[in-house]
Each structure stands twice: as structure tokens, then as C-alpha cells.
Amino acid sequence: MKTKSLLLMALIALTATACQNNKAKEAQVHEGAAVNEVSAGSAVSSSKTSVNNELLVYLKLDGNSSGNALRLLMDEVLWISGDDTETLIKYGFDPENVDNDYELYNEKEEWFPVVTCPETTFKIWQYSDEGFPENRDVDLAAFRQHLSRRDDCAILAKVTVSDGAVLTVKEQYIP
């Protein structure tokens, strides 16, 4: 248990550093500098940590998170439009049997740990007073509660990751 706590503290420290690095990189980008390096030791594989890399993922809580950060697990998936016959066939789907005009493809379930920053923004689907779904901004506590109600079931979300830090989470609407 002590080793797990030490690993969590190291992961949070890496994320804090990544968040600080992202702020510095954003400042450089605004000044016109090209930024395309990836720092070593990030929490996510290097192919998933380039600057402002938006991914479609299944996302769920990773244990009990508290404070200003959430430990999350994400597994990248591919959204295939129902009218993209070529891609559907490529990934083994029958275009004649596509439900809801899309398919989700996940060749291999592979969960990557990530940690949010205090600056991470969250959007979740909630119903308006009129009964229509809306993608609303929520704070960390509301997002944590939204995920914890799911009993280890993942949500589908677009997540922006940079240098191992989660910058944005936007729950994907599923028709």
C-alpha cells in the first residue's frame, strides 16, 4: 500500500509539472514559437501526449481520488460513421447492420492512467429543465460525482491530453 501511495504521489507530481509545462508552452505558442516536443516520463504513452492531442476514449475513475486532481483511466476508441462503408468494412463491421448511424471500434482494451490538473475543464451531458440534453460545464467535484455514480462503468469522452496531463474532458453524446 505504501508503494502505491508513493507511485500516486509521483504521478501527481508529474502531472503538476506537466500542467506547469503546458502553461509555459501555451505562452510560447501565443508568442509564435513552434512547440512539438513531448517530455519524458509522462503518465500516458508518448504517442498520446503530444501538445493538445484530442482523443476519443472510454474514461473512468481510477480508485478514490481526492483534492484538486482526479486519477482516471482512459482507453482510446475509434468512432466510425455509419455512412463510411469503407472504414466499417476495414474494421469488420457490416454496413447493413449499423445501429444509431455509428460504430465504436476498440481493437484491444488498453487502459492508460492519467491525472487531471486544477486547470482541467469538464463538460458532461445533463438534461435541461425542458428535458433536452445539454453539454454543460461542471467543476471537478461535479465531474467526480458524475463518474462515481457509474459504478466502474466508463463514459465516452473527448479528452485533450498534453505531456501526460488532462487539459479538457468533454463527455461525448451517444444517440
Q: What per-residue confidence (pLDDT) applies to 49?
A: 44
Rounded CA separation 51/58 (Å): 20
Rounded CA separation 106/91 (Å): 9
Q: Which three cell numbers stand for residue 125?
A: 451531458
Higher pLDDT, residue 95 or 50? 95
**Domain coordinates of the chain in residue numbers?**
2-171
φ and ψ at 85, to 5 degrees?
-55, -45
CA 122 to centroid of chain Cα atoms = 10
Neighbours of 74 (CB within 10 A): 25
pTM of whole model > 0.75? no
Q: pLDDT by residue (tens digit) across 90-127? A: 999 999 999 888 999 999 999 999 989 889 999 999 88
Residue in this structure with the C-alpha cell 447493413, named with its chain if needed: 96
Q: Are 108 and 88 in contact (CB under 8 A)?
A: no
